[in-house]
Structure 1
Amino acid sequence: MSFLFEQMTVIGVGLIGGSLARAARQRGLVCRFVGAGRGAPNLERALALGVVDRVERDHRLAVRDSDLVVVGTPVQAGIEVVRNILPEMSPGAVLTDVGSVKGPFVRAVEGMDLRQVRFVGGHPIAGTERSGVEASFPELFENRRTILTPTQKTDPKALQALKSLWEGVGAQVDLLNPEAHDRILADISHLPHLIAYALVDSALEGEGLPYAAGGFRDFTRIASSSPEMWREICLDNRNALLASLDAFEARLAALRRMVEGGDGPGMEGVFRRAKEGRDGWLKDKGWA
């Protein structure tokens, strides 16, 4: 059998890294899998579940002889991981990540002495509010988008190999520069998480939470995501997130003025435009 990669090392075998390993194994895209991380229980569980074939606590040992290394840690930790593993990586190996913020990570890694390691930033736009390897499943990326963020320094063959891997696990692959990626994700992911956390936090101070039902549950589902992870994402993408917050606050202020002024037609116009836009988006996605 011909594989895209002979050995994949996943550093941070959680929901995303674990799901990628499961999917690549199921589709016959990679031959062998190595899991790495600092938490022994999670690694042992990844081994027991058959997500990986071998585990290592030492990242440097984990990447030896691997022709693909996937970094699945928060951005700042990932930068240090890459700095640590580069001397042990095989010449020509492909290095990628799955982080939600691309600019700081791409700039930091491309500023290192990569030698002959070929780096391509990546971000699968898929996930759930659950975390850890036990939450992983091979269908996670099917009919979802994965964004790769090549630069002028990116090796074309490495880019094509990663594109084939992600398409092989069912994803639609788009190419964006890192800064454009971060602006878009601030609007559609990072800001919504911030709002969900703030809304639940506000509700906890009132008396209405016991009466909340399905609408509140659905709107705030992502507030059950990892607080530690989202703290890091918001700080790593702070400039783009602040711009998104400014734009959102301006729209919210406009709605407040409509409420104060009794501007029913104005409010209905905003609501109708939002409803029609969301309904069209759901239809395009095949979710309606």
Structure 2
Amino acid sequence: MINKICICGVGLIGGSFALALKKAGFDGEIIGFGRTTENLQKAVDLSVIDRFSCDIKTAVSDADLIMLATPMLIMPIILKQIKPFLSHKPIITDVGSVKEYLIQQVTDILGDYNNFVGAHPIAGKEKSGVEAVSCELFIDKKLIITPLPNTNQNAIDELTKLWLKTGAKLQTLSPAQHDKIFSHISHLPHMLAYSLINTLHDIELDDNIFAYAAGGFSDFSRIGASDPQMWADICLTNKNNIADSLQEYISHCQRLKQLILTEDHYKIMELFSQAQQLRQNL
């Protein structure tokens, strides 16, 4: 039974999780932990959390569930901070976009801690921070659980119950499957959005090129407004998969470039038609 939850990092995802649980009738206590009192106090004022502490011992004491909802490279730091206060064996989970890296960190720092359950909600906005939270963020969105063979089944079941209260649809993947899939379907598009914006910025024209942007650019580049720290951390913690994904994309771009230069109208049409059909079938 989960009665006390500590959320480390009360931003868009962690805050929306807390707010969704409250709306669903969760009557336990939700505590926020973070570095600055300003953001945490704002979370209290918005009724996202019940109280907060910037002292890790106070925050996690007697917590039944500890959620890591920070950028990826901050998570190991928090694991080291909470390690002395885990004698009651709380469930530890996360909401990060990379799983193999974090599981290795859990093993290195906490040893064989079988109450860790990796999780990744496939939901978000380009806006971040507690001001952007929504109790409806996870409704009908996928929530990927990435347990290991030795993960405590009770921990999985308790976490599952909470996520179902938010309206999420649960699915299970292995950590390796998760990181490979999302390097293609999530991480690559963010790399492309950031790169497109920077590419256009670097083009030397007399006029401001962005002044001529319309709906197509806006749609494609929207996720380029996402949190830079979060995505820089994802790059470094899933580097091999992302590098492979980028290389595959570069190969497709090089092929398209060659078809354009050789004026192969038929092949260009064939590629575009295939992509159009695939997109329409989504």
CA 1:147–1:253: 2 relative to 1, 3 Å: same
Q: Could you tell me which residue of structure 2 aligns to residue 259 of structure 1?
A: 260
Contact 2:106–2:113, Cα closer than 8 Å, also in 1: no
TM (norm. structure 2) is: 0.94
Secondary structure at the counterpart of residue 95 of structure 1: strand
From 132, 154, 168, the counterpart of 2:165: 168
Q: Could you tell me which residue of structure 1 aligns to residue 66 of structure 2?
A: 69
Paired residue type of 1:75: M
Secondary structure at the counterpart of residue 97 of structure 2: coil
Secondary structure at the counterpart of residue 131 of structure 1: coil
> Residue 39 of structure 1: CA displacement?
1.6
- Provide the C-alpha distance between the structure 2 equivalents of 1:177 and 1:80, rounded to a whole number of angstroms: 24
Q: Could you tell me which residue of structure 2 aligns to residue 200 of structure 1?
A: 197
- Provide the C-alpha distance between the structure 2 equivalents of 1:139 and 1:114, rounded to a whole number of angstroms: 36
- Pair 1:59 & 2:27 matched: no
Question: What are the equivalent positions in structure 2 for 1:20-169 lying under 5 Å apart?
Answer: 20-29=17-26, 31-89=28-86, 91-113=88-110, 118-169=115-166
> Residue 76 of structure 1: CA displacement?
2.1
- Provide the C-alpha distance between the structure 1 equivalents of 2:9 and 2:161, rounded to a whole number of angstroms: 22
> Residue 105 of structure 1: CA displacement?
0.5
Q: Deviations over 1:185-232 (max 9, x none)?
A: 110111111110110111112342211111101110011111122111
- Where does structure 1 lack aligned partners over 5 or more consecutive residues? 282-288
- Where does structure 2 lack aligned partners over 5 or more consecutive residues? none
Moved over 6 A (4+): none
- Pair 1:19 & 2:27 matched: no
Contact 2:235–2:242, Cα closer than 8 Å, also in 1: yes
> Residue 266 of structure 1: CA displacement?
1.1
> Residue 90 of structure 1: CA displacement?
5.3
> Residue 111 of structure 1: CA displacement?
3.2
Paired residue type of 1:85: I
Paired residue type of 1:119: F
> Residue 45 of structure 1: CA displacement?
0.2
Secondary structure at the counterpart of residue 157 of structure 1: helix
Contact 1:6–1:31, Cα closer than 8 Å, also in 2: yes
Paired residue type of 2:46: L
Contact 2:71–2:229, Cα closer than 8 Å, also in 1: no
Secondary structure at the counterpart of residue 111 of structure 1: helix
TM (norm. structure 1) is: 0.92
> Residue 91 of structure 1: CA displacement?
1.9
CA 1:115–1:63: 2 relative to 1, 3 Å: farther
> Aligned residues: percent identity?
38
Paired residue type of 1:277: L
Q: Deviations over 1:27-81 (max 9, x none)?
A: 1245111011002111010010011111001122101111011011122210120
Moved more, 21-30 or 46-55: 21-30
Secondary structure at the counterpart of residue 277 of structure 1: helix
Paired residue type of 1:269: E
